[in-house]
Amino acid sequence: MVTLVDGGSLARIDRVGAYIDSLQLKGRQILMPSPDGRETHGGCAVMIPFANRIRNGVYSWEGHTYSLPRNDGLNSIHGLVRHEKWEYANEEGQDHNSTTLHYRLASTGYPAAIDIVNAYSLGRDFFNITTTIKNTGEISSPLVVGFHPYFNFQGKWELKHDSEIKMLNYRDRYFPDGSTLQVNFNDDVAMQQKSFDNCFVGGGDLVFSAGNYDIRISRRNMDYFVLYNGQYSRGQSVAIEPMTGAPDAFNNHIGLVTIGPGKTFECGFRIELVER
């Protein structure tokens, strides 16, 4: 376990999965701990090389069919790195308020080997994550990067955005059909009474009002996100999951990144505490 500290702020990162186990900013517990030890039921899981679900755990790429672990009924969910041990990316290991972790993914279910580097930095009122992925293989590969943070709230929550936002319509429970519906959370005073397990695109910076403080989520090359307040949020948190593409993007190609041999892709997001 890696612990970063800056003043009254603290981040704890498990090298298994590069999972963010705990985040405190100015003494406030920002992330809900997982109540059952499962990394997608609390904290913040890292989802690479795909986020959310791949239908039937199967996809085709450049004339070949690939099979993924069916770990969600018939489907595959949340990538291939959540249970793998990451290494320090440099000899120094970690500073008091930053660290960089590395994992090399080489799987029969994925076309090419990729080097994944996650850089974490903590300040007194912010936490920043930057993911850099390099294709070290000989063919291009599909890629979706995602994170799964559960943000605590007390009393009432709202979500605001500073640009246009669209909800992806699903043809069934989990899989987008390619169409969208424009929504406006800024004028929605009844958000907390609604149930969400939906993917959205756009929105710019997101501001999550968590009671007596706000959390600003600034995304870089992560224009998609899932909003979830179902059973695992336990009525005390909301999952706002930055992603670079849509659920089942390996099949529907919505937001899919193609990373060529020797090429690098970078994305990330910043969580900032805004006190009122």
Q: What is the pLDDT of residue 239?
A: 98
Query: Do the Cβ atoms of 157 and 191 come closer than 8 Å?
Result: yes
Bridge partners of residue 270, in order along the sequence: 128, 218
Query: Do the Cβ atoms of 272 and 185 come closer than 8 Å?
Result: no
The closest alpha carbon to 102, from 18, 172, 226, 209, belongs to 18
Residue written as token pair 């892709």: 265
Domain span including residue 172: 2-275
Which tokens is 51 given?
A: 């986020």
Residue written as token pair 């970063």: 4
Q: What is the pLDDT of residue 93?
A: 65
Amino acid in the structure at residue 69: P
DSSP letter, residue 203? -
Q: β-strand 64-67 against 98-105: which pairing, if any?
A: unpaired
Which tokens is 132 given?
A: 């850099």
- The gap between the terminal CA atoms of the chain, to the nearest Å, is 33
What's the predicted TM-score (pTM) here?
0.96
Residue ranges for the chain with pLDDT beneath 70: 91-93
CATH number at residue 140: 2.70.98.10
Bridge partners of residue 254, in order along the sequence: none
Q: What is the total count of domains within the chain?
A: 1
Cα three-residue angle 96-243-258, rounded to 5 degrees: 110
Q: What is the pLDDT of residue 92?
A: 67
